[in-house]
Amino acid sequence: MPTLYLRIRFLRAGFALPLLLTAMLPFLLRPSAGHAGTLPVAVDGQPLPSLAPMLAQVMPAVVNINSKTRVRVRNPLMEDPFFRQFFGMPDMPRERIEQSLGSGVIIDAAKGYVLTNNHVIAGADDIAVTLHDGRTLKAHVVGTDSDTDIAVIRIPAENLSALPLADSSRLRVGDFVVALGDPFGIGQTVTSGIVSALNRSGLRGLGYQNFIQTDASINPGNSGGALVNLRGELVGINSAIYSPSGGNVGIGFAIPSNLAGQVMRQLIATGTVAHGSLGISAQDITPDIAAALGVNAGSGALVTRVRRGSPAAAAGVAPGDVVTSVDGKPVRGAGDLVNAQGILPVGSTVRLDLLRDGKTMHAETRLDADKLASAEGGKVDARLRGAQLSEVDPNARRDGLAGVRVDRVAGGSRAQDNGLKPGDLIVGVDQVDVAGLNDLRGLLAHYPRRVLLSVVRGRNALFVPLR
């Protein structure tokens, strides 16, 4: 992508000095009596402010993550038995190894749970975690959620340090924060800055969004690392940067600890995450639609369908209504409405502000779990036996892709033998698009022997042959 355009960069691969320090600079630069040319350890009897004591407690809980993914390389000649036999080539698929670096945060020292970004470990075959003390441990995946870009992995719980989770709802713009991680794979690094903005959303391709924006220097490799307050508490998980060049320009984004903790608890308990849903389909308000409805373009989301028996139906929401806010937060379009549902806890009470025939209305209801279809893979096709499948909401995905997600794969199952992995998104069968389970079931029925699935795994698109 040309560098003329700003773009969101995932970070796989500053705390500005307090005003007190700035005011003290003339004193810091003045030589002290008897120690010409050296800085004093105190001014007027007060020790110089330093983050070192806090960081000494925090840094052991921040880890480096190295993930390796084996990607099959499809070569038509290599799939021809005659060609392999003629040239004496082994009967095995060709593979390449892809490696990525990121960061993580230990959040339970007793059980070895590590919080990180989904895109750091998505589709990985091997995950190695390097601790602050130099130990490298093998990790396994507890659960992932691509919609919020959160993952939980587990390492052996031996002499670990963990970070406490802060209440991120108490953050204010201007609060000092510190980012820790492994930028560019050079080793654990600390940078500092302030909270630049809160509740950032509307960023293309980033799933459910409620970001903390910070000017703390964040770069590729910081993904999954910690954003902490001055008490050494975790307030966010570093996730992405907004950059024209791929490097830091002072606009970084972190997933709030409240959202990360909510997702983490579900992943530890069940391995999956239930996101909220009002049962509404909606679209953006274009200028033509705005003129027809007598509303402002780009303000609100137009309800196009209300699922029968859904929370929205129970609250009296109807097609043609315009949702202008959720819990007092303005809705600028359909993406804001999807985002608001996805980040609120299932079961929470939601207040909707609506426009109907030019009149303002209010509705209140409870958020249900998203009821997108799911199925055991063996009931879709025998070659998928052992996989748990579910449909995805393309509006909630960072890449906007529709398809069928592989939530779990049983060890030793036929799905595992066929090369499927948790987190895979099946988007096609023999290059025919798949929008949901019915499409997948119907297309596989036409290919009873061998077929190629088009799969998105992390940042890679690949073919997976089903036998």
27 pLDDT band, cuts 50/70/90, is: very low
Rounded CA-CA distance 117/238 in Å is 8
Mean pLDDT in residue range 409-429: 87
What pLDDT sits at residue 62?
Answer: 94
Q: Exactly one of 149, 182, 353, 439 is catalytic; which is it?
A: 149
Domain extents for the chain?
A: 1-18+49-270, 276-369, 374-466
Residue 8 burial class via C-beta count within 10 angstroms: exposed 0-12, middle 13-18, buried 19 and up = middle
Q: pLDDT tens-digit profile of 366-395?
A: 888 776 667 788 888 889 988 888 887 665
Percentage of the chain with pLDDT > 90? 26
Mean pLDDT in residue range 304-309: 85
202 or 443: which carries more pLDDT confidence? 443
Q: pLDDT tens-digit profile of 78-117?
A: 555 655 555 555 555 556 666 778 899 999 999 999 999 9
110 or 183: which carries more pLDDT confidence? 110
Block residue for tokens 């749970």: 113
Side-chain half-sphere exposure of 243, counting CA atoms within 13 A: 18
What pLDDT sits at residue 117?
Answer: 92
- Annotate 288-321 with DSSP letters as a single string: HHHHHHTS-TTSSEEEEEE-TTSHHHHTT--TT-
194 pLDDT band, cuts 50/70/90, is: very high
Q: Say yes or no to pLDDT of 440 above 80.
A: yes
Residue 277, phi then psi, degrees to nearest 5: -150, 140
Which residues have C-beta within 8 Å of that of residue 12, sequence separation ≥ 6? 100, 101, 102, 117, 119, 120, 220, 221, 223, 459
3-class SS of residue 260: helix
Q: Say yes or no to pLDDT of 130 above 80.
A: yes
3 pLDDT band, cuts 50/70/90, is: very low
What pLDDT sits at residue 138?
Answer: 93
78-87, 188-197, 434-443, range with the lowest pLDDT:
78-87
Mean pLDDT in residue range 167-188: 89
Q: Are 455 and 423 in contact (CB under 8 A)?
A: no
255 pLDDT band, cuts 50/70/90, is: very high
Q: Say yes or no to pLDDT of 205 above 90.
A: no
User: Residue 376 CB: number of other CB atoms within 10 A?
Assistant: 14
Rounded CA-CA distance 350/20 in Å is 43
30 pLDDT band, cuts 50/70/90, is: very low
Which pair of tokens denotes residue 450?
């061998």
Percentage of the chain with pLDDT > 70? 79
Q: Exactly one of 67, 100, 103, 119 is catalytic; which is it?
A: 119
Residue 394, phi then psi, degrees to nearest 5: -60, -25
What pLDDT sits at residue 177?
Answer: 95
Report angle CA 63, 69, 74 to the nearest 5 degrees. Answer: 165
Choosing among 3.30.70.2660, 2.60.110.10, 2.30.42.10, 3.40.50.10260, the CATH entry for 374-466 is 2.30.42.10
What pLDDT sits at residue 435?
Answer: 82
Rounded CA-CA distance 118/223 in Å is 9
Q: Exactly one of 223, 243, 277, 281 is catalytic; which is it?
A: 223
Which pair of tokens denotes residue 454?
């088009």
Whether 223 is a known active-site residue: answer: yes
Residue 36, phi then psi, degrees to nearest 5: -55, 135
3-state secondary structure 428-451: EECCEECCCHHHHHHHHHCCCCCE
Beta strands in 74-173 (DSSP E): 94-108, 113-116, 126-130, 136-145, 150-154
Mean pLDDT in residue range 436-440: 85
Q: Say yes or no to pLDDT of 438 above 80.
A: yes
**Stretch (H or E) spanning 259:** helix 257-270
Rounded CA-CA distance 221/199 in Å is 23
Whether 119 is a known active-site residue: answer: yes
Rounded CA-CA distance 238/107 in Å is 15
106 or 241: which carries more pLDDT confidence? 106
Q: Say yes or no to pLDDT of 166 above 90.
A: yes
Mean pLDDT in residue range 12-40: 45
Choosing among 3.40.50.1400, 3.40.50.2300, 2.130.10.10, 2.40.10.120, the CATH entry for 1-18+49-270 is 2.40.10.120
**Stretch (H or E) spanning 425:** strand 425-429
User: What integer best gives the mean pLDDT of the chain?
Assistant: 80
User: Residue 351 CB: number of other CB atoms within 10 A?
Assistant: 13
Give yes or no on whether 276-369 and 374-466 have one common fold.
Answer: yes
Q: Say yes or no to pLDDT of 168 above 80.
A: yes
Mean pLDDT in residue range 72-78: 55
What pLDDT sits at residue 163?
Answer: 94
Rounded CA-CA distance 69/122 in Å is 9
User: Residue 48 CB: number of other CB atoms within 10 A?
Assistant: 14
Q: Say yes or no to pLDDT of 33 above 50.
A: no
173 or 17: which carries more pLDDT confidence? 173
3-class SS of residue 246: coil
Topology of domain 276-369, CATH: Pdz3 Domain (2.30.42)
Whether 169 is a known active-site residue: answer: no
3-class SS of residue 255: strand
DSSP 8-state class, residue 408: E
Rounded CA-CA distance 75/33 in Å is 75
Rounded CA-CA distance 205/332 in Å is 17
